[in-house]
Amino acid sequence: MTGAWRWPEAGWWFAEEMGQIPAVECSSPLELVATPAVSVLMLTYNHCRFIEQAVASVLAQKCERSFELLIGDDGSTDGTVDLCRQLQRQHPGVIRLITSASNIGINRNFLRVLIRCRAPLVALLEGDDYWIEPSKLQQQQALIGANPGYAMVASATQNRINRLGADGSLSLADLLRRYPIHTSSLMFRKELAIPFPRFPSAAHDSLLISHLAQRGDCGYLNQEMSYYRRHGDGIWTGVSRQQRMQDTRECISAMESYFQGRYHIELVDREFWCYRLDWQLKPEHPWGQWQASLLLLLSEGPAMMQRSQRFTLGLLLLTGWQLLLLIKATAVQAVGGRTRPLVGAG
């Protein structure tokens, strides 16, 4: 339930417990690279249509130092695992496949693969995204190596809005206000992710980035190096807009608790930014969207107003938001009614 997660009561995942998460590894130990400089961590679930392109984009990397690719499959049922086994046999010196008998959820899947990464640096790539720059790993290794204070580095991502505009670095506050980087572009220091908080599953990537960001800044390269694939089965693009808003609120509530209220302003800014994004999307079911949004407001509004530290202003903004959604829903329904083609007309 949204708002139920509390820190520090939730506690930590320590290395030993990560290693006990059910996992079966398919690899060729005698053929693997001995000391990889980077471990590429690829999470996948029912990505049979996309996984080959994702893997190929990793294998195409041109690096001075070696790397390994760990694929963590979370109980796919569409043939992804068989395809990954085939890819592992074709590239036994690089690929390791981590599976289990059943679906264990994104958090545990991530942690069981993370603890098996042998390199000090970890690069993330979902099985339905891919890299478009062959020098991505090389450039990011150089950047994080030259800046000991960086906990992670990232770059621009194709097929999503990139507003940063220049190379530089991002602080924790920057990363809490918005979602300026995508996980397909992310590389981080493994040692900073272990132990790992027992975060809720909603918006796993944002919580990972926020956890890393309190341990150091994020270096940024203003060059598109990865591609974010939007499709109907994606863990974000494949769910309803109301589910996205609910996940967003659960994530923000977790951040509020995790940082013990130190970033009220940044998190309120993030939440209203998410509202603005939602407003820009075309309603799938206008009245249904408004009704669902109203129900979410009733359950989540108090927490948001508490974060704002300005109860009256928060109440006015949220009430105004509901009125805007109602007006938009009414307008969309009216326009749709006038332009809907006649069915069955002779």
Give the chain's mean pLDDT.
85
DSSP annotation of 190: G
User: What pLDDT digit, counting tens, does each position of 320-334 carry?
Assistant: 666 666 676 677 666
As given in the structure block, the two tokens for residue 248 are 């967003």
**b/e per residue 300-309 (b: at least 16 CB within 10 A):** bbebbbebbe
Q: Where are the alpha helices (DSSP H) in the chain?
A: 15-19, 51-59, 80-90, 106-114, 136-146, 172-177, 204-213, 241-258, 264-280, 286-308, 311-339
Q: Is the pLDDT of residue 255 over 90?
A: yes
Task: Tell me the H-state helices in 80-178.
Answer: 80-90, 106-114, 136-146, 172-177
Confidence label for 147 from pLDDT (cuts 50, 70 and 90):
very high
1 vs 182: which has the higher pLDDT: 182
- Closest by CA to 15, choosing from 109, 111, 123, 121, is 111
Structural domain spans, the chain: 12-227, 241-339
* Buried residues in 236-248 as b, exposed as e (16+ CB within 10 A): eeeeebbebbbbb
What would the mean pLDDT of 238-261 be, rounded to a whole number?
A: 80
User: What pTM does this model have?
Assistant: 0.84
Mean pLDDT computed over 89-103? 96
Greater model confidence, 336 or 207: 207
Lookup: tokens for 241: 């807009």
* Distance in angstroms (rounded) separating the CA atoms of residues 132 and 226: 5
Predicted confidence at residue 4, as pLDDT, reads 75
Question: Of 96, 120, 94, 97, which is closest to residue 37 (Cα–Cα)?
Answer: 120
pLDDT of residue 1: 39
pLDDT top residue among 274 and 312: 274
Number of CB atoms found within 10 A of residue 288's CB = 13
Q: Tell me which DSSP letter residue 62 carries.
A: -
Please report, as a single letter, which amino acid is at residue 128: D
> Are the CB atoms for 232 and 240 separated by under 8 Å?
no
More confident residue, 297 or 311: 297
Judge whether residue 281 has pLDDT over 60. no
- Which residues share a beta bridge with 122? 39, 188
**pLDDT classification of 159: cutoffs 50, 70, 90:** confident
How far apart are the C-alpha atoms of 80 and 52, rounded to whole Å? 10
Q: Which residues of 17-55 are buried (b: 16+ CB within 10 A; e: fewer)?
A: ebeebebeebbeeeebeeebbbbbbbbbbbbbbbbbbbb
Instruction: For residue 284, count CB atoms less than 10 angstroms from its CB and return exposed for 0-12, middle for 13-18, buried for 19 or more.
Output: exposed
Q: Are 128 and 71 in contact (CB under 8 A)?
A: no
Please tell me the distance from the alpha carbon of residue 331 to that of residue 65, in angstroms, as a whole number: 58
pLDDT value at residue 178: 86
Q: Determine the pLDDT at residue 161.
A: 75
Per-residue pLDDT of 167-177, as tens digits, reads 999 999 999 99
Helix (H) or strand (E) holding 220: strand 217-227
Q: What percent of the chain has pLDDT over 70?
A: 75
pLDDT above 90 (res 65):
yes
Q: Per residue in 217-239, pLDDT tens?
A: 999 999 999 999 975 565 655 55
Q: Is the pLDDT of residue 26 over 90?
A: yes
Q: Please determine, for residue 299, whether its predicted confidence score (pLDDT) is greater than 90.
A: no
341 pLDDT more than 60: no
DSSP 281: S
Name the residue among 281, 199, 200 with its Cα closest to residue 242.
Answer: 281
Q: What is the pLDDT of residue 157?
A: 95
Residue 261 is predicted with a pLDDT of 86
Residue 22 is classified by DSSP as -
Architecture category of domain 12-227 in CATH: Alpha-Beta Complex (3.90)
Long-range contacts of 314-317 (CB under 8 A, 24+ apart): 317/272
Q: Report residue 94: phi and psi, to 5°.
A: -125, -40
**Selection from 178, 70, 77 nearest residue 118 by Cα:** 70
The string of pLDDT tens digits covering residues 32-59 is: 999 999 999 999 999 999 999 999 999 9
Cα 259 → chain centroid: 19
Tally the residues of the chain. 346
97 vs 166, more confident: 97
State mean pLDDT over 116-127.
98
